[in-house]
């Protein structure tokens, strides 16, 4: 998982990803090398900023001054922040011998509080069915997940955490939340609330757009 100077890079470097990145970039979303055509913005918000995305935007402005690079100000920083946050948050997972996608599966079983089928887990974690099947096999072999066959349809499996799996999730989660609290401590509470609201609005629109395309 790497981020190149704020470019719009995926935040999961797994060969078979298991988070929202399984679905790939949102249809119609510009890559960092592009911007909506016909724009005239100069990316003025970049002036005075010293983060890596600001440098990338200034470089693109020099190459294509006629394009509106404004979207890079937002999308580039979201992706860069996600990459940096995930690098640090994955440390406790690596110590536990888990990948991020595997923890996402365990977390889904823990937070929903009931058995889930592989298909339901795929939807909960935005993963492909094949990727979920592979990860479940590994987690089952480690004794973290157990499966129960359906009494009416032998093709259907119901999955749940073992006691060991539940203890593992409950041990890792506080460490991740403590790290997130430390990261956000540099923002005032009202700033955190405003940022959460803006991201929620953006996510809702993106999820609605994706849902409409899949329908």
Q: Would you list the domain boundaries of the chain?
A: 1-78, 85-184
Residue whose pair of structure tokens reads 């129960």 in the numeric block:
148
Note whether 42 and 49 are within 8 A (CB): no
Candidate from 23-32, 60-69, 94-103, 132-141 with smallest mean pLDDT: 23-32
pLDDT of 25 above 80: no
**82: how many CB neighbours lie within 10 A of its CB?**
19
Tens of pLDDT, residues 93-105: 888 999 999 999 9
Note whether 168 and 106 are within 8 A (CB): yes
Note whether 6 and 52 are within 8 A (CB): yes
pLDDT of 35 above 60: no
Region 61-81: what's the mean pLDDT? 94
Note whether 18 and 12 are within 8 A (CB): yes
Is 1.10.10.10 the CATH number for 85-184?
yes
pLDDT of 213 above 70: no
Average pLDDT of the chain to the nearest whole number: 79
Q: Which pLDDT value is given to residue 111?
A: 95
Tens of pLDDT, residues 154-211: 788 999 999 999 999 999 999 888 888 988 999 999 999 999 999 999 999 998 876 6
pLDDT of 127 above 60: yes
Q: Which pLDDT value is given to residue 55?
A: 93
Note whether 145 and 136 are within 8 A (CB): yes
List 161's β-bridge partners, or say none. Answer: 145
- Report the sign of the C-alpha dihedral through residues 49, 53, 56, 61, in that order: negative
Q: What are all long-range contacts of 43-49, with beta carbons under 8 Å and residues at least 24 apart?
A: 43/68, 43/69, 43/70, 43/72, 43/73, 45/70, 45/73, 46/73
* pTM, full prediction: 0.66
Could you tell me which residue, 134 or 42, shows the higher pLDDT? 134
């Amino acid at each position: 998982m790497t981020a190149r100077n704020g470019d719009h890079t995926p935040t999961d470097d797994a060969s078979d990803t298991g988070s929202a990145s399984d679905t790939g970039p949102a249809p119609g979303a510009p890559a960092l090398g592009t911007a909506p055509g016909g724009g005239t913005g100069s990316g003025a918000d970049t002036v005075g900023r010293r983060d890596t995305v600001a440098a990338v935007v200034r470089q693109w402005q020099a190459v294509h001054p006629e394009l509106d690079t404004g979207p890079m100000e937002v999308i580039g920083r979201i992706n860069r922040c996600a990459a940096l946050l995930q690098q640090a948050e994955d440390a406790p997972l690596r110590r536990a011998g888990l990948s991020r996608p595997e923890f996402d599966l365990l977390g889904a079983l823990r937070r929903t509080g009931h058995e889930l089928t592989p298909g339901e887990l795929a939807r909960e974690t935005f993963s492909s069915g094949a990727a979920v099947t592979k990860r479940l096999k590994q987690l089952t072999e480690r004794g973290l997940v157990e499966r129960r066959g359906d009494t009416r349809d032998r093709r259907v499996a119901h999955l749940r955490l073992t006691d060991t799996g539940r203890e593992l999730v409950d041990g890792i989660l506080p460490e991740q939340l403590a790290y997130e609290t430390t990261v956000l401590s540099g923002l005032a509470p009202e700033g955190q609330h405003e940022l959460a609201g803006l991201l929620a609005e953006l996510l809702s629109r993106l999820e609605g757009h994706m849902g409409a395309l899949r329908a």
